[in-house]
């Protein structure tokens, strides 16, 4: 089942945790890949100094102010891309960074089943985007449409199986770096 916009149009911390266990599906040409989301981070509002929108509304951050359920993809360090899902109401900038996928599979049309891909670890936002060919062409993509890239409900994750932590790589964000807005399936 593909979640509708309402699923994303909620409190970002709730969405970030509910995305754990969901499948990210990516169709590239004839190939279709799928991975289970195991790690997310929340970036919420202009007051969150780690959030790109803390600088206000700019061409870059505009997408975060848009409709929930759309992708916010940006380039970082000149070599990697990061995939985020926009949350909350329109004009309120917030998103969930997809940091890690597990049990990556490719759909085999001839057998009509999902086959595990060996020797692949998508345990980082940059690696994940590189493998799934996610770049800025997908910035603003509506992931509720079920084309090219979308999400599907996966396994149910118990609250007790979710570990919260400080976010990664945001030492510049002053007191905001202490927020436990990183979520992982433990």
**Lookup: tokens for 44:** 């919420």
1 binds DNA (CB under 7 A): no
Q: State which residue, 49 or 114, has the beta carbon closest to DNA.
A: 49
Report the residue from 1, 30, 59, 116 that binds DNA according to the rule CB under 7 A.
59
**Lookup: tokens for 40:** 């997310």
| Distance of alpha carbon 100 from the chain centroid | 9
175 binds DNA (CB under 7 A): no
Q: State which residue, 67 or 107, has the beta carbon closest to DNA.
A: 67
H-type helices in the chain, by residue range?
Answer: 5-8, 12-18, 125-131
Q: State which residue, 9 or 146, has the beta carbon closest to DNA.
A: 9
Report the residue from 2, 5, 75, 162 that binds DNA according to the rule CB under 7 A.
75
Contacts of 178 (CB under 8 A, 6+ apart): 166
Contacts of 39 (CB under 8 A, 6+ apart): 20, 98, 99, 100, 123, 182, 183, 184, 185
43 binds DNA (CB under 7 A): yes
Work out how close the CB of 56 gets to DNA at its nearest, in angstroms, rounded to a whole number.
Answer: 7
User: 């998508």: which residue's tokens?
Assistant: 122
- Given the rule CB under 7 A, which residues bind DNA? 41, 43, 50-53, 55, 58-61, 64, 72, 74-80, 82, 84, 95, 97, 124-128, 136, 167-170, 172
């Amino acid at each position: 089942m593909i979640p509708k916009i309402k699923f994303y149009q909620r409190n970002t911390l709730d969405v970030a945790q509910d995305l754990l266990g969901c499948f990210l599906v990516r169709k590239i040409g004839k190939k279709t890949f799928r991975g289970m989301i195991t790690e997310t981070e929340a970036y919420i509002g202009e007051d969150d100094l780690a959030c790109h929108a803390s600088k206000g509304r700019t061409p870059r951050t505009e997408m975060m102010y848009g409709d929930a359920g759309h992708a916010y993809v940006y380039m970082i360090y000149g070599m990697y891309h990061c995939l985020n899902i926009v949350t909350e109401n329109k004009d309120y900038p917030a998103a969930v960074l997809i940091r890690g996928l597990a049990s990556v599979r490719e759909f085999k049309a001839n057998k009509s089943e999902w086959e595990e891909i060996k020797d692949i670890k998508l345990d980082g936002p940059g690696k994940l985007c590189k493998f799934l060919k996610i770049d800025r062409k997908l910035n603003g993509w509506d992931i509720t449409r079920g084309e090219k890239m979308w999400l599907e409900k996966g396994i149910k994750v118990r609250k007790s199986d979710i570990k919260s932590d400080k976010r990664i790589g945001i030492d510049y964000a002053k007191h905001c770096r202490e927020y436990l807005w990183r979520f992982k399936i433990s």
